[in-house]
Amino acid sequence: MKEGVFISQEKYTQDFLKRFKMQECKPIKIPMASNGHLDLDEGGNPVEKTLYHSMIGSLLYLTVSRPDIMFSVCMCARYQANPMESHLIAVKRILRYLKYTLPRLLISQRCKIPTCRLFRFGLCPVPH
């Protein structure tokens, strides 16, 4: 593919995994549990807010080039005011998914029809 825009944040993702000691984690194929539901978990164990905020902030930065994690990250971001252990587990699941999907490129291509103004986006493995 010679035309289009290619965006890779492989190095950022690797540094991100390393910063949160997740570089040796077991990779998984989906970023969120199949029910896709998180709740307040008022009876759960609270976690350090600074850690949670830092993880969510880094993930939000990644969503610019990783639309595949947008829904999961936004679900977790809703609980920044009072994060519980269950929310941290969900965030770590996203990190495990990022480990599975390394390396990936976001590709943006313009439609081939001259009058069309649409773009196609997709993730693909980085060719080596």
Provide the domain count of the chain. Answer: 1
Q: Is residue 57 pLDDT above 90, yes or no?
A: yes
Long-range contacts of 79-83 (CB under 8 A, 24+ apart): 79/38, 79/40, 80/49, 80/52, 80/53, 80/56, 82/40, 82/46, 83/46, 83/47, 83/49, 83/52
Residue span of the structural domain in which 50 resides = 5-24+44-125
pLDDT at 9: 87
Convert the pLDDT of each residue in 5-15 to its tens digit.
Answer: 777 788 999 99
pLDDT at 128: 47
For 16, the enclosing helix (H) or strand (E) is: helix 10-19
pLDDT at 5: 72
Eight-state DSSP code of residue 123: E
**Residue 64: inside a domain, yes or no?**
yes
pLDDT at 37: 84
Whole-number Å distance between alpha carbons of 42 and 46: 9
Convert the pLDDT of each residue in 62-120 to its tens digit.
Answer: 998 888 899 999 999 999 999 999 999 999 999 999 999 888 777 767 667 777 665 56
**Residue 57: inside a domain, yes or no?**
yes
> Average pLDDT in the 43-67 region?
94
**Residue 116: inside a domain, yes or no?**
yes
pLDDT at 34: 81
What are the structure tokens assigned to 16, written together? 């991100």
pLDDT at 60: 96
